[in-house]
Amino acid sequence: MRKQPRQVRSRQMVERIVAAGRSVLVEDGYDAFSTNRVAAAAGVSPGSLYQYFPDKTAILEVVVDRYSEETAERVAAAMSDRIGGTGLAVVRDIVDALLTALEADRALLRVVSEELPLARSRARRDTLERRISELAATYLLARPEHSRRPNAPMATWVTVLAIETIAIRWVLDQPAIERDQLIDEIVALVGGYLVS
């Protein structure tokens, strides 16, 4: 952002711009995303928009940062609540929490996953993976009987990446697989990997 809004009215305008940016990104896609479209959707002049955002990239960064933070918070909160469970029930809970977080805004997930240049979303995705990995590693280190893998951090990385990739593809592709069936299959996959 170019400058921080100080007055309530200015903060409200910035929030309208960010909300409009999110809507334009979802409705029009990354390639058609522009400051003029965002300003029109927010009901502000381009000049007002430029007081706070120097270009479309600045708006895009706030929109994607907020989406990434919201998703990470949903997953981390759900995982933290369920980390006390035992065995593969924890995996089931983690997968369910991740799917719920990803399903919350399927349209924006599609744009972030498939349209944004990788360089724009890489750091944010790494942050989410790191948070999930830390929670999962804590669980595996606290309960070594639930994994026969010799290297807990490596096992966590492999597991988190597999779960994340499958979950994102299921949410975006919407294959003819019921949610509960998918969770069962992921639990079987992770269980086979961790205990074999």
pLDDT for the residue 164: 86
pLDDT at 58: 93
Tally of residues, the chain: 196
What structural domains and CATH numbers belong to the chain? 8-54 (1.10.10.60), 64-195 (1.10.357.10)
- What is the pLDDT at residue 12? 93
Through-space distance between the first and last CA atoms of the chain, rounded to whole angstroms = 50
pLDDT at 30: 92
pLDDT tens, position by position, for the chain (196 residues)? 667 777 888 899 999 999 999 999 999 999 999 999 999 999 999 999 999 999 999 999 999 889 888 887 877 776 666 666 666 777 788 888 889 888 999 999 999 888 888 766 666 667 666 766 666 666 555 555 656 777 777 877 888 888 889 999 999 999 999 999 999 999 899 888 877 6
Q: How far apart are CA 9 and CA 13, in angstroms?
A: 6
Q: What is the pTM of this model?
A: 0.78
